[in-house]
Structure 1
Amino acid sequence: MVDDYLAGLSVGYLAQMYGVHRATVSKHLTRNNVVRRQSGLTVDEAAEAVKLHHSGISMREIARSLGVDRKQVRRSLVTAGALAYSRA
């Protein structure tokens, strides 16, 4: 799990992959003294998400291709003005 995280997979993806809760993944990483990445997309990933969104790719597919949670993709699209903010 540590190696997968260090290879770039997200906590959410690892939780799904290993069939455990996100908190379990986080605790495992903490016990192994793994420095956690900042949540959210990098500037380059956010730009790629916007580009993919404008080409008609779904947020779910964008999230899969970037190895992040769909909510992070949505947050980045809203921040970039590529998607309207809505609480619904």
Structure 2
Amino acid sequence: MPDESVLPGSPRLRDSLSNPGKPLVRLFKALEHAGEAVLPQVDPASADPAAATESRECRMLSPDEVTELVEAYRHGAEMNELSRQYGVHRHTVDRHLERAGVAKRPMTKMTPAKVEQATELYGQGLSTNQIGKQFGVSGSTVWKALKRAAVGMRAPVAR
């Protein structure tokens, strides 16, 4: 029996052709002009909605946007913040900064002073998530910093 994943009308083939690239669209048009029958495109309404949410649109920043992004970073904006603002992945932001020759700030979020403060707050009963919100980092970052500082950690609370 043939592999169903490559048969016309199979979900795998249908999904791969549901958003054809420019070369494939040009081929379809050329075949239509030559009088050849071309398989109809998949109706977007019938596509799996879960699959549509998994992919992100590839967004190209204009040269002006890249300049704004670089200047915002130089004035203190964080990469994740710029990523959300411009609708691109943080790695894209990183590459733009790299191409612009920008020296990136170190990722050290928990300085020794912050670890000392976090130790005090943790001793007062605050959770690592609560402490993280105060410092602008994740709770796991606080947990790791406290663990490295040999702070006795409480048992996790069940949700």
Higher Cα Rg: structure 1 or 2? 2
- The equivalent residue for 1:36 is 105
TM-score calculated relative to the size of structure 1? 0.63
The higher-RCO structure (CA 8 Å, 6+ apart) is 1
Are the counterparts in 2 of residues 50 and 77 from structure 1 also a CA contact under 8 Å? Answer: yes
Structure 1 gap segments, 5+ residues each: none
- In the superposition, relative to structure 1, how do residues 46 and 15 fare at CA in structure 2: closer, same or farther (>3 Å)? farther
Superposition RMSD in Å: 2.7
Are the counterparts in 2 of residues 52 and 62 from structure 1 also a CA contact under 8 Å? Answer: yes
Are the counterparts in 1 of residues 129 and 140 from structure 2 also a CA contact under 8 Å? Answer: no
In the alignment, structure 1 residue 59 sits paired with structure 2 residue 121: no
Q: Distance in 2 between matches of 1:75 and 1:42?
A: 13
Structure 2 gap segments, 5+ residues each: 1-71, 155-159
In the alignment, structure 1 residue 73 sits paired with structure 2 residue 142: yes
Identical positions, percent: 27
TM-score calculated relative to the size of structure 2? 0.39
